[in-house]
Structure 1
Amino acid sequence: MLEIIKSRKNEEIKLAAKLVDSASFRREKGMFVVEGARLCRDAALSNVEIISAYFTEAAQTKYNDYITQIIQECRSYRLIEEHVADALSATKHNQGVFCVCRIPEQHHSMMDMKASGTYIALEQIQDPANLGSVLRTAEALGVSGVLFLGDCCDIYSPKALRASMGAIFRLPFYIEKDTSFAMKELKRKAFAVFAAVPSEQAQSILETDFSKPTVMLIGNEGNGLSKIAINACDACVTIPMMGRAESLNAASSAAILMWEMMRGRIDVQLEESV
C-alpha cells in the first residue's frame, strides 16, 4: 500500500510547490517540476533524472500505463490527495501527475555543436510559452537544435515545459550568455548565420539559400535582435507579409522561418520515402 500525502504542508510538497513558482529557487536547488501524465512519461523516457513522482488515486487509474513507465525510472513515488495536487499544479485543471526532476549539471556546449545541420537561435526570449512552442516546432520539422543566447527566460518553467510538449527532453539545445562569443563560434564553424528582422529592406526568406549549414537568429519579443547579433550575421532576412500586420510574435516567426529553412530537406525525404 502506497503512502498517501494528505497535507499541503508536507515538506516534500512545499519544496515541489516552490519549485513550480520560483525560477530562482529552481536554479538554487537545481531541480524543476514536470506536470502531466504524458510529459512526465516523456521525462522518464529521456535521460532526465527523476527524483520523485507524485500522483493521485484517480490518475493512477486513468493514466496507469504512463505511471507504470514513470515509476520504473524514479527514485521514489507517492500517492497524493486531490487538494495536494492542486497545490503543485500550474494549471486550472490538472491530471494529478507530477515529477520532481534534476536540472542537468551541464547543458550542451556550443563547442560540441557539429558544423553541420540547421539550427534556430533565440536571443533574450522572455515569453516561456513562445520558447516552448519554438522547441516543439523545431523538433517536428527536424531542426538540428536550438541555441539560447543572452538572458532568455527559464527553460524549465511550467509554461515552457508544457508548450514544448516534451521536445525539451529530446531536442539538443545550447545555452550561451555571451552573444558576441556565440557569433564568433558560429563563424569559426563556418555556419551561414542569418538575422530575422521585420524590414522591407531585408532579403526575403523565399530568396535565401539554406542549403549550407545554417543558423537563424530570432530576437526578443519587444526589442528584436541586439546590434551585436545583427552586425555579426551574414545577412538579414525577413518574412514577406501581404496583410497589415507589421510583425509576428517569436513563435510564429520561428515556425515560418524553420519551415522555409527545412523545406528542401523535407521535400527530399518525402521523395525518398515514395
Structure 2
Amino acid sequence: MSRARFEKFKQVLRQRQHDMTLLTDEVHKAQNISAMLRTADAVGMPEIHMVQPHRGRLVYHHTAGGSGRFTGTAVHPDIQTGMNVLRQRGLKLVAAHWSERAVHYRDVDYTQPFALIMGAEKEGLSDYAAEHADAHVTIPIIGMVESYNVSVAAAIILQEALHQRQQNGQYDREIDENDPEIREILFRWMHPQMVRYCEKHKLPFPDMDDDGDMIPPADPRYRSPK
C-alpha cells in the first residue's frame, strides 16, 4: 500500500463534514441512491440517511463507483423517524420542494448544520416532510421539463453547500491520527479484505505503521485473507 494513498485517506478524513448529511424520502431506484452516495462522498459527507420505501425493498449498489466504501448509510423505517433523528442532532432540515415558502437554493446558509431532504422519484416529497421541514429550496428551470432528476438536483444543491463551506474554511481542520476511531476508519479503508476476515472471526484489527501498512500480528489466529 502506497504512502500517498494513506495520506489521501487522511486528507479525506480531515475534510469530512459531520454536520452535513442527506436524507432520502423513499427514493427507491438503485441508480439514484448510488449517484447520491457518490455526491455525498464528493462533498465530504461521512454518511447519508434513507427512508425505507413503502413498496418493495430498498436496493442500492454499495460500491457506487467505490464511494459506498467510504460513505456510511443509515436506513429509517419512515420519514418521521429519519427527520427526528437528524433534528435531535441539531441539524436544520432543508427540503428540495416547491412551495410558497420556497427560496432559491443559493439563498440558504449551508455553513450551518443541515440535512438536505430529497423526495421520491415520482411522488416527490411526502406531505409530512414538506410540512415539518425547516426550509424549502428550489432550483430554477427554464426548459420544458418540470424538475431535475433527484440525484442531479441533490448534486446541484450540495455543490453550493460545498462552495459556501470552502469559502468559510470549514474543510480545513485537523484530526488526531492516534484517536482509536480515526485509526479504525483508516484501517477499514486501507485493508478491506482483512477487515472482512477479522469481523468474520471476531478478531481485533491489527496495527498499522506510519505508511498505513498492516503490521503482521504474531497471534496464530491471523492469516492472510483469501
Q: TM-score range by the shorter chain?
A: 0.5 to 0.7
Query: Deviation per CA, 1:82-132, whole angstroms, max 9, x where unpaired?
Result: xxxxxxxxxxxxxxxxxxxxxxxxxxxxxxxxx952111111112101110
Displacement of 1:267 in angstroms is: 3.6
Q: Which residue of 2 aligns with 1:68?
A: none
1:258 and 2:158 matched:
yes
Q: Which residue of 2 aligns with 1:140?
A: 42
Displacement of 1:214 in angstroms is: 0.6
Displacement of 1:137 in angstroms is: 1.4
1:231–1:271: structure 2 CA closer, same or farther, 3 Å change rule?
A: closer
* Cα root mean square deviation, aligned: 2.6
1:198–1:182: structure 2 CA closer, same or farther, 3 Å change rule?
A: same
TM-score (norm 1): 0.51
Q: Which residue of 1 aligns with 2:144?
A: 244
What is the one-letter code of the residue matched to 2:154? A
Separation of aligned partners in 2, 1:142 and 1:135: 11
The number of residue pairs the alignment matches comes to 154
Separation of aligned partners in 2, 1:257 and 1:173: 20
After superposition, residues 9-48 of structure 1 pair within 5 angstroms as none
TM-score (norm 2): 0.61
Unmatched tracts of structure 1, length 5 or more: 1-114
CA contact (8 A) 2:165 2:171 kept: no
Separation of aligned partners in 2, 1:178 and 1:153: 12
SS at match of 2:22: strand
Q: Which residue of 2 aligns with 1:119?
A: 21
Displacement of 1:183 in angstroms is: 1.6
After superposition, residues 210-225 of structure 1 pair within 5 angstroms as 210-225=110-125
Separation of aligned partners in 2, 1:139 and 1:269: 18
1:123–1:256: structure 2 CA closer, same or farther, 3 Å change rule?
A: same
CA contact (8 A) 1:205 1:257 kept: yes
Displacement of 1:207 in angstroms is: 0.8
Q: Which runs of 4+ in 1 moved over 6 A?
A: none
Separation of aligned partners in 1, 2:92 and 2:45: 15
Displacement of 1:242 in angstroms is: 3.0
CA contact (8 A) 1:131 1:251 kept: yes
Query: Deviation per CA, 1:221-245, whole angstroms, max 9, x where unpaired?
Result: 0001111111111011111223332
What is the one-letter code of the residue matched to 2:112? K
SS at match of 1:237: strand
Identity over the aligned pairs, expressed in percent?
A: 25
1:117–1:243: structure 2 CA closer, same or farther, 3 Å change rule?
A: same
Separation of aligned partners in 2, 1:153 and 1:134: 14
Separation of aligned partners in 2, 1:121 and 1:270: 21
1:161–1:271: structure 2 CA closer, same or farther, 3 Å change rule?
A: closer
Q: Which residue of 2 aligns with 1:15?
A: none
Displacement of 1:205 in angstroms is: 0.7
What is the one-letter code of the residue matched to 2:21? Y
Displacement of 1:153 in angstroms is: 2.6
After superposition, residues 1-274 of structure 1 pair within 5 angstroms as 116-151=18-53, 153-155=58-60, 160-161=61-62, 164-199=64-99, 202-268=102-168
Displacement of 1:201 in angstroms is: 5.2
Unmatched tracts of structure 2, length 5 or more: 1-16, 173-226
Query: Deviation per CA, 1:153-207, whole angstroms, max 9, x where unpaired?
Result: 312xxxx346x10111111221111221222222222211011014575111111
Separation of aligned partners in 2, 1:201 and 1:181: 24
Report the structure, 1 or 2, having the larger strand content: 1
CA contact (8 A) 1:200 1:238 kept: no
SS at match of 1:173: strand
Separation of aligned partners in 2, 1:166 and 1:238: 30
SS at match of 1:125: coil
